[in-house]
Amino acid sequence: MAKKKSNQPPTFLNRKARHEYDILETLEVGIVLEGTEVKALRGGDCSIAEGYVLVREEPPALTLHGVMIGPYPPAGALQHLTTRHRQLIAHKREIRKLARDVDQKGVTIVPLKLHFRGSFAKLQIGVAKGRQHQDKRRAIAERQIKRDLDRAMSKYRN
């Protein structure tokens, strides 16, 4: 049997970011897209794993870099650039707070999740601090312990 096509637009997660960084704070912002980019996103052609966000303090602005939104084939010659810099939409005070946070050493802003809310594309960004190799190992060990504990608890309940 053929699978039914879901009416839900796709959600793109950056799972690599949660492994590479400690997420200190998250914020949901809007993203300025062209028409063919929206169509390509709804078709499921996007990669946010290599992305990062730059903050400009005066005038306050957020810019998304390194995110690839694939081409939309029916657009033909009116195609968008797949890896252009995209403007993000947030309040001035939020942008200024992010700029203060990023001034610290080892802190950056990474995209965590790209999804649709209604007809608008939203990007969840996170203020992140890079993890050392031993921190990554510790996080993996903690996750494994939690999994084992959950398994044991579910057997106990049943």
Coil/strand/helix, residue 36: helix
Q: What share of the chain in percent tops pLDDT 70?
A: 95
Cis preceding linkage at 59, omega within 30:
yes
12-131 folds as Small Protein B; Chain: A; (2.40.280)
pTM higher than 0.95 for the full model? no
Torsion of CA 7, 63, 54, 80, to 10 degrees: 70
Q: What is the pLDDT of residues 43-79, one digit of tens each?
A: 888 899 999 999 988 888 999 999 999 888 888 888 8
Q: Is 80 exceeded by the pLDDT of residue 134? A: no
